[in-house]
Amino acid sequence: MEEIDKNNTTFENIKHFDENGVEFWYARELQVVLNYKEWRKFENVINKAKESCKNSGISVIEHFVDVDKLSKRANNAKVIIKDYKLTRYACYLIAQNGDSRKEVIALAQTYFAVQTRKQEITEKEYSQLTEDEKRFYQRNLTRKGNYSLNQVAKNAGVKNFDKFHNSGYQGLYNGETADDIAKRKGLRYREDILDNMGSEELAANLFRITQTESKLKKDHIHTEKEANKTHYKIGKNIREVIKKNGGTMPEDLPTPEKSLKQLEKENKKTLKQ
């Protein structure tokens, strides 16, 4: 991973999300991470990847989206350059068609193969994951869900997003805000509470997130007050369902020994060795 760290970037932190919460990568940024100095040579790899996509009977335009960007030259002149918005599958195909002599290409092949597979996971496969793998999977879904929920909440008139999200937590956690949850878990200041939840607790929060988004849309809510009220009600309803089914209340679920951030760091160190 040394080459990636040298550029102060990884496959994860050059990832973007569109307005619908769908992840994508820019080809120009991926080019840097994969150590291709010339766009011309990297575009040759992209073209090979597009051909592989086509030969697999998969729509090329859905995975390789043409975009134009403004770029500044040394004399401050602005020119339009070509770029692509790439899906995870497109990145995987690019890695597969890249220069296999590059160590970073091998890392990219593994990373995008594993991550692409995770997105197609079945219920049976999920049950076979370790608890930490389940946590990573659920955390990725909650991250996407929160992004999408924020867009819907914004359209519903929400401006104070801390208050909006706390409304949901308070409903689900019997009055606890995000800060209350963090204190109970013994977390450091500004440490992400979702990174410090087990898979069961994350699943309960994912349900809260998706159901709130659906309710805001369905009821055509357009005031911040009603949006907060809705989020609270959804959280409380989920809490009541857990109780009715004899489940463990979210605040009583154990906090994992290691946060997902810690696990990510340990994984990176392992890859470097």
Over residues 65-92, the pLDDT tens digits come to 999 887 777 677 788 899 999 998 899 8
Its sign, for the CA torsion 190, 138, 239, 211, is positive
Report d(CA 100, CA 104) in Å as an integer. Answer: 9
Binning pLDDT at 50, 70 and 90, where does residue 270 land? Answer: low
pLDDT, position 124: 67
Lowest-confidence region among 9-23, 116-130, 151-165, 255-269:
116-130
Starting at the earlier edge strand, list the strands of the sheet with 78-86.
16-17, 23-26, 78-86, 64-72
- Total residues belonging to the chain: 273
Binning pLDDT at 50, 70 and 90, where does residue 195 land? Answer: very high
Percent of the chain surpassing pLDDT 90: 54
Q: Kindly report the backbone phi and psi dihedral angles of residue 118, in degrees, each rounded to the nearest multiple of 5, phi listed first.
A: -60, -35
* Domain range summary for the chain, segments of one domain joined by +: 2-120, 133-270
Phi-psi region of 57 (alpha: psi -120 to 50; beta: other; left: phi over 0): left
pLDDT, position 83: 95
pLDDT tens for 36-66 read: 999 999 999 999 999 988 887 778 898 999 9
Binning pLDDT at 50, 70 and 90, where does residue 8 land? Answer: very low
pLDDT, position 77: 74
Has residue 1 got a pLDDT over 50?
no
Has residue 272 got a pLDDT over 80?
no
Q: Are 176 and 170 in contact (CB under 8 A)?
A: yes
Q: Which residue has the higher pLDDT, 270 or 75?
A: 75
**What's the whole-number average pLDDT of the chain?**
86
Report d(CA 117, CA 208) in Å as an integer. Answer: 26
Question: Residue 42 corresponds to which tokens in the numbers above?
Answer: 């990297």
Q: Kindly report the backbone phi and psi dihedral angles of residue 96, in degrees, each rounded to the nearest multiple of 5, phi listed first.
A: -65, -30
Has residue 114 got a pLDDT over 70?
no
Interval 86-103 mean pLDDT: 86
CA angle 196, 152, 261 (to 5 degrees): 20
Residues 6+ apart with CB under 8 A from 139: 194, 195, 197, 202, 260
Binning pLDDT at 50, 70 and 90, where does residue 201 land? Answer: very high
pLDDT, position 168: 98
